[in-house]
């Protein structure tokens, strides 16, 4: 499975720094209000439910997938105090890069409108993982090659972006354009579910054969064309 541009959502850790003086209930209420105000999903879906990724009605292969045009947080903000200051932190997941610059001003306004303007010290992103971004031209040509070799169903179209995960392949893409594919490792008929970081993680090893054959062929074809 592949698509041009972003394969994953942008992941950012946001930190809100406040003067001490707010109770735990006030901090929790403020965090909940911020999460609810930022929240956005497509088609009323729940993109944090990763089991839906392969659902033909809502998953990545459906143009109306719930895994596009969303912004949500990791749920409850983590709150703590340090040096007579209070902090709220959480991770958020945004699919559209042009929305990232709007998030901090939006959070600042939510805090001010909630009556905590005098408590606010700063709002900032303190961590952000780089995101895999596939080159459009290479994605089209790679997909064309694999479908010509192995049939139109050899590569499934991807219409969404996966939250929570990312890949350091993005560092290679900062140096040279590239294409990152999803390669399924599940086999539902065998009861094999290849869900990363799950306690029952398994892989159908036939997927290794598929991957080696496909990408070795892709490399050979590209070398022959050049």
CA distance 91 to 77: 8
* The pLDDT of residue 71 is above 80: yes
CA distance 96 to 195: 25
CA distance 177 to 204: 30
Other beta carbons within 10 angstroms of residue 209's beta carbon come to 10
- Residue-wise over 138-153: b if at least 16 C-beta within 10 A, else e? ebebbbebbeeeeeee
* The pLDDT of residue 213 is above 90: yes
214 band by pLDDT with thresholds 50, 70 and 90: very high
Coil, strand or helix at 6:
strand
Q: Which two tokens mark 60? A: 């990545």
Q: What is the pTM of this model?
A: 0.87
Q: Which CATH superfamily is domain 9-129 in?
A: ACT domain (3.30.70.260)
What are the boundaries of each domain within the chain? 9-129, 133-225
Q: What is the pLDDT of residue 179?
A: 95
pLDDT tens across 80-112, in order?
988 889 999 999 999 999 999 999 999 999 999
């Amino acid at each position: 499975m592949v698509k041009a541009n972003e394969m994953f959502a942008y992941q950012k850790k946001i930190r809100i720094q406040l003067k001490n003086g707010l109770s735990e209930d006030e901090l929790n209420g403020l965090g909940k209000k911020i999460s609810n105000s930022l929240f956005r999903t497509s088609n009323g879906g729940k993109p944090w439910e990763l089991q839906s990724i392969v659902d033909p009605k809502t998953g990545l292969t459906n143009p109306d997938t719930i895994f596009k045009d969303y912004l949500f947080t990791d749920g409850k903000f983590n709150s703590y105090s340090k040096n007579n200051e209070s902090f709220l932190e959480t991770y958020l997941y945004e699919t559209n890069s042009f929305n990232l610059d709007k998030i901090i001003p939006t959070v600042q306004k939510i805090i001010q409108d909630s009556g905590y303007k005098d408590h606010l010290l700063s709002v900032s992103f303190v961590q952000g993982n780089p995101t895999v971004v596939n080159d459009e031209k290479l994605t089209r040509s790679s997909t064309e090659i694999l479908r010509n070799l192995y049939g139109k169903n050899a590569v499934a179209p991807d219409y969404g972006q996966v939250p929570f995960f990312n890949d350091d392949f993005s560092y290679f893409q900062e140096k040279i354009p590239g294409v990152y594919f999803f390669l399924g490792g599940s086999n539902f008929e065998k009861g094999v579910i290849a869900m990363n970081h799950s306690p029952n993680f398994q892989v159908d090893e036939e997927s290794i054969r598929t991957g080696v054959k496909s990408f070795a062929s892709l490399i050979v074809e590209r070398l022959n064309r050049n």
